[in-house]
A and B are shown apart, each in its own frame.
Chain A
Amino acid sequence: DTGVSQDPRHKITKRGQNVTFRCDPISEHNRLYWYRQTLGQGPEFLTYFQNEAQLEKSRLLSDRFSAERPKGSFSTLEIQRTEQGDSAMYLCASSAAGVDNEKLFFGSGTQLSVL
């Protein structure tokens, strides 16, 4: 399967713990996006990378959130000191820079539950 892969699919953690999610984009896709989706809402943009450069971060991305894409391939999203309000589906998407860069392909997401 050459789609966007996210790991883990589900994560249950206690408030105050740190969590890290991984995303493997479609091979050769230069752009990688992170979105967050809560029940009954559409995905909300968090941040995106072109290759290894993080080009924009949403105001939704508090200081407790950090994303990296060290070699321009996979990406990680870390949430420190989790809060109950962080419970959501975290979606990763990738697209090819240049032609068709507007077509984002999403992974199945990581469902985070903070107890």
Chain B
Amino acid sequence: QKEVEQDPGPLSVPEGAIVSLNCTYSNSAFQYFMWYRQYSRKGPELLMYTYSSGNKEDGRFTAQVDKSSKYISLFIRDSQPSDSATYLCAMYDYKLSFGAGTTVTVRA
């Protein structure tokens, strides 16, 4: 079993829809939870960062962490074609452990 499991994609949604992305993990030592966005042939870019359980909102993006269930989510509201990318969840102890990524396409 991998340390981090991410819901497989791909996801295709119409512009303006809400995108929901999810990951589960097994390592209780993880304290920091991130979402990275990766465009084709580019390195991952840090999108959202959360420490421990709770919610964090940044514009159209909301990250949720439930440590009791070992479950994290990312929601994208009012999705735009420019949000089309691969989204990677990642969790940190002394290094980042990544999920496999979910490719999202927002159709205009």
> Which of B13-21, B38-46, B57-65, B71-79 touches A?
B38-46
Determine chain B's interface SS by DSSP, over half rule: strand
Judging by beta carbons under 8 Å apart, are A43 and B46 in contact? no
Interface residue tally on B, bucketed by range? 20 to 34
Given contacts A56-B95, A104-B46, 20 further A-B contacts (CB under 8 A): A4-B43, A40-B100, A41-B100, A42-B4, A42-B88, A42-B98, A42-B99, A42-B100, A42-B101, A43-B96, A43-B98, A45-B96, A91-B44, A93-B43, A102-B32, A102-B34, A102-B49, A104-B96, A106-B45, A109-B42
Interface, chain B (partner A; CB < 8 A):
4, 6, 32, 34, 36, 41-46, 49, 88, 90, 92, 94-101
Interface, chain A (partner B; CB < 8 A):
4, 33, 40-45, 48, 56, 91, 93, 102-109, 111
